[in-house]
Amino acid sequence: MLLSIDKSKGETIFDQLVNQIKSLIESGDLQEGFQMPSTRQLGISLGVNRSTVIRAYEELWALGYIESTPGSYTKVRKRKSLNKDISPVSHGEIFWDDILKEAYKPDYVKLERFSQLVREENEHLISFNRLEPDSRLIDVRLINNCIRESISDSDKQIFSYCNPRGYELLRRSIVSHMRLHGVNSKDENILITNGSQNSLQLIFQTFITKDDYVAAESPTYSMLIPLIKYYGCKILEIPVTESGMDIEVFKKHLKKHPIKMIYTMPTFHNPTSVTLPQDKREELLSLCEKHKVIIIEDSIEEEMKYFGKVHLPIKSIDSHGVVIYLGSFSKILAPGFRIGWIIADKECVNRLTALKTMFDLSSNTFSQIMLYHFCKSGYYELHIRKYLRVFRKRMKVALKALKTYMPADKVVWQEPLGGFLIWLKLNVKADKIDLEEHFQKFGVKIIDGSSFFYNPPKEHYLRLSISKCNEEEIEEGMRRIAKALEELTVES
């Protein structure tokens, strides 16, 4: 066995041994069954320390190149060669084609939109496309204080798994916070999750089968749509009017179908920003109680009430436990913490917790403990008040700019009572145009409204989010949108 060790090379003796023996085996110079010299013999012949040879043999054994048994010689073994490149093969020979043939096929184009949203921003573009808090408003000093408190806790819980239902002290903080919204729950009604998307996933996995009917507003939260398609359930679309979900359409569906669940955003609906009136909330709740339909109430922007009277959550009047309420820190504080919560009947929470335990054991311990300190110190309520003050002003700027710059014959909108969103209905010819690309040419990012429909709409819509923009950016962004609209032809 020809080996050459050069002690003057930059490569260590260990690496030289391993690489040269590997090369001899892979080239076929050392055949399967070849008896390797003992570690003592090889060390003497090469003039290297025996311990180095032992380590090299151990590495080659771990890589599958040699084998040995106690009291026996070390021999070369036959092993599959490592792939150095993945070469193209014919369609029928691809392993994963057969495996995935019957599996769910995601809409990669639509899902890629989310990846595009979280990529680094272009400073020359004004971003109305991301529903994400303006990180410039976060008081990093307060976050640092809470991080230091979390790390200095004597029991060092941040380094351990958390209770599957969530950090108990954070659960209690959420109970206290939700009382401000009229939701009187107990600790046993709270499950902490990895954000609202994780909450929805758990709910669908627990309660929904492919034979179930699920009702949802149309348009609706865009990431609900791939979830519904994945679980293969039957979707019933409920149009959203100027005053929220069309309850009359829901009633018609109830007469025809055994609806298992309805998903709704009654406050500052995403994407339309409309708010469901109190009488309609009560009617929806009564219908679902009567027909035993689960209500999923998604209230991610519940806090952001700017103008007029905004009603309490449906959960606040839920005396029969039919409402599963979803809350989150993502849209008001920061999505990077990946912490949301579910408020539901105790037995429902137990079922959801069991599933969460099976799938991910628990949510991030560090984020939960840090957020507990953030809430306990009163920082969260201060942060909300700051956001209310800032975004009330920003929304006024946005609405004024719309009235000032938008061509009245090409676009209409409804003024929201709160939240971050404005929903524009376009009166333009755009069937053959990629609207997002068109507006980006004018230096502004928007979301094409078709992303929020299960079935493509006939009309054209834009969703604008002011959550990441200051007043100057909002003003300039509206000018750019108006210029982009001027280039489009009015629909006759």
> Rounded to an integer, what is the distance from CA 106 to the centroid of its chain?
16
Per residue in 359-380, pLDDT tens? 888 888 889 999 999 999 999 9
- Mean pLDDT across 152-179: 86
What is the helix (H) or strand (E) element at residue 363, kind and residue range? none
Judge whether 300 lies within some domain.
Answer: yes
Which residue bears the tokens 């493509």? Answer: 456
Judge whether 1 lies within some domain.
Answer: no
Torsion 95-98-104-108 (CA) sign: positive
pLDDT of 85 over the 70 cut: no
Q: Answer yes or no: do 158 and 129 share one domain.
A: no
Domain that holds residue 312: 140-381
Judge whether 22 lies within some domain.
Answer: yes
pLDDT of 93 over the 60 cut: no
pLDDT at 82: 60
Task: Read off the CATH number of the domain in which 54 is found.
Answer: 1.10.10.10
pLDDT at 122: 67
Segment 344-349 long-range contacts (CB within 8 Å, at least 24 positions apart):
344/189, 344/191, 345/189, 345/321, 346/188, 346/189, 348/321, 348/324, 349/165, 349/188, 349/189, 349/190, 349/191
Q: Going along 163-242, which residue ranges are E strands?
A: 190-193, 213-218, 234-241
Contacts of 407 (CB under 8 A, 6+ apart): 482, 485, 486
CB atoms within 10 A of CB 409: 11
Q: Which pTM does this prediction carry?
A: 0.79
Q: Answer yes or no: do 215 and 306 share one domain.
A: yes
Judge whether 254 lies within some domain.
Answer: yes
Cα 299 to Cα 233: distance, rounded to the nearest angstrom: 23
Distance (Å) of CA 312 to CA 162, 279, 302, 321, 483: 31, 12, 9, 16, 39
Beta strands 259-264; 213-218: pairing state: parallel
- Mean pLDDT across 125-147: 90
pLDDT at 314: 93
Contact between 129 and 462 under an 8 Å Cβ cutoff? The reply is no
pLDDT at 132: 87
Backbone angles phi, psi at 206, to 5 degrees: -80, -40
pLDDT of 231 over the 70 cut: yes
Final residue in a domain of this structure, among 337, 354, 381: 381
Judge whether 105 lies within some domain.
Answer: no
pLDDT at 269: 94
Judge whether 97 lies within some domain.
Answer: no
What is the helix (H) or strand (E) element at residue 233, kind and residue range? none
Range with the lowest mean pLDDT among 49-58, 86-95, 192-201, 418-427? 86-95
Structure token digits, residue 64: 């599958």
Q: Answer yes or no: do 234 and 125 share one domain.
A: no
* Buried-state track 71-94, b at ≥16 Cβ within 10 A, e below 16: eeebebbeeeeeeeeeeeeeeeee
Q: Answer yes or no: do 424 and 442 share one domain.
A: yes
For all residues of the chain together, what is the average pLDDT? Answer: 88
3-state secondary structure of 199: helix
**Alpha-helix runs per DSSP H in 139-259:** 140-152, 168-179, 196-207, 224-231, 247-256
Query: What's at 150, amino acid-wise?
Result: S
What percent of the chain stands above pLDDT 70? 92
At 275, the pLDDT band (50, 70, 90 cuts) reads very high
pLDDT of 67 over the 60 cut: yes
Structure token digits, residue 172: 């209690």
Q: Answer yes or no: do 370 and 459 share one domain.
A: no
Final residue in a domain of this structure, among 339, 366, 381: 381
- Mean pLDDT across 133-155: 86
Q: Answer yes or no: do 155 and 205 share one domain.
A: yes
Q: Higher-confidence residue: 433 or 412?
A: 412
Judge whether 492 lies within some domain.
Answer: no
* Per-state percent for the chain, helix, strand, coil, to nearest 5: 45, 15, 40
Range with the lowest mean pLDDT among 27-31, 154-158, 165-169, 470-474? 154-158
pLDDT of 94 over the 80 cut: no
Query: What's at 87, amino acid-wise?
Result: S
pLDDT at 340: 92
Q: Answer yes or no: do 173 and 211 share one domain.
A: yes
Q: Which of 355, 4, 8 is nearest to 206 (CA)?
A: 355
- Mean pLDDT across 314-330: 92
Q: Which of 415, 428, 482, 420 is nearest to 459 (CA)?
A: 428
pLDDT at 414: 92
Contact between 271 and 463 under an 8 Å Cβ cutoff? The reply is yes
Task: Read off the CATH number of the domain in which 162 is found.
Answer: 3.40.640.10
pLDDT of 114 over the 80 cut: no
3-state secondary structure of 75: strand
pLDDT of 285 over the 60 cut: yes
pLDDT of 177 over the 80 cut: yes
- Mean pLDDT across 339-345: 93
Contact between 221 and 270 under an 8 Å Cβ cutoff? The reply is yes
Judge whether 220 lies within some domain.
Answer: yes
Given phi > 0 = left and psi -120 to 50 = alpha, else beta, which region is 182?
left
pLDDT of 14 over the 80 cut: yes
At 301, the pLDDT band (50, 70, 90 cuts) reads confident
Contact between 83 and 44 under an 8 Å Cβ cutoff? The reply is no
- Mean pLDDT across 108-126: 69
> Rounded to an integer, what is the distance from CA 301 to the centroid of its chain?
16
pLDDT of 131 over the 60 cut: yes
Per residue in 391-401, pLDDT tens? 999 999 999 99
Contact between 444 and 484 under an 8 Å Cβ cutoff? The reply is yes
Contacts of 363 (CB under 8 A, 6+ apart): 162, 166, 192, 193, 194, 338, 339
Q: Answer yes or no: do 240 and 259 share one domain.
A: yes
Which residue bears the tokens 């309420």? Answer: 325
Structure token digits, residue 57: 């043999």
> Rounded to an integer, what is the distance from CA 282 to the centroid of its chain?
31
Q: Answer yes or no: do 321 and 428 share one domain.
A: no
Q: Answer yes or no: do 189 and 322 share one domain.
A: yes
Contact between 163 and 192 under an 8 Å Cβ cutoff? The reply is no
The domain total for the chain is: 3
Task: Provide the 8-state DSSP code for 313.
Answer: P
Task: Read off the CATH number of the domain in which 418 is found.
Answer: 3.90.1150.10
Q: Answer yes or no: do 373 and 480 share one domain.
A: no
Q: Answer yes or no: do 413 and 365 share one domain.
A: no
